[in-house]
Amino acid sequence: MPRLQRPIFPAGSKCLAQGYSVECRDKQVVYFVSLLPVFQHAEDDLRSFRMFTSQLIDMDAVRQVDIVNTFAVPLPTVKRYLKLLRDHGKQAFFAEPKRRSAPVLTDEIRQLIESLIEEGKSVPEVAEASRVKANTLHKAIRAGRLPRVKKKNPRRIQHPSPPRANAARQTARP
């Protein structure tokens, strides 16, 4: 699986393209056209970075290679987010990621699983009884699609403690 390669923001002012520059100040990345600041975002705000640099490329203000060289990000990543901007617009950068729902959790199966959980069964027991993988059940519980499993409180077994050696010695002395 590919690792996320974060952009490297310049400490001082760096020329991005003819008339465009970027500077990182106090954990804020500021983009300039000539001497005027036109956009800024937090240093760790990856979504805003991707959106704004894609807009600059889309407006033909900078080239893809300018973004790659200035921020040390891979060219395929720059192309991917440019395509995202062109296909879906700016709002696509800030949309929540889509998650697939588990098709195995039909209404009938879900009712069975919920009743087993209410009975106090553990996830492995519910998985075995419903023939749904335990991993699927854990994901559905974390996502809030299934109720949380109630933990069983095991009874504490009290073992008789052995007599202390010191206590035996103290009683033996006159």
Which helix (H) or strand (E) segment holds residue 38: the answer is strand 36-42
Whether 151 has a pLDDT exceeding 60, the answer reads yes
Q: pLDDT tens digit string along 72-83?
A: 999 999 999 999
Please provide the DSSP assignment of 78-93 as one string: HHHHHHHHHHH-GGGG
66 vs 163, higher pLDDT = 66
Whether 63 has a pLDDT exceeding 60, the answer reads yes
Show me where the domains of the chain are located: 14-93, 99-151
HSE-up (13 A, CA, CB side) for residue 130: 27
Whether 54 has a pLDDT exceeding 60, the answer reads yes
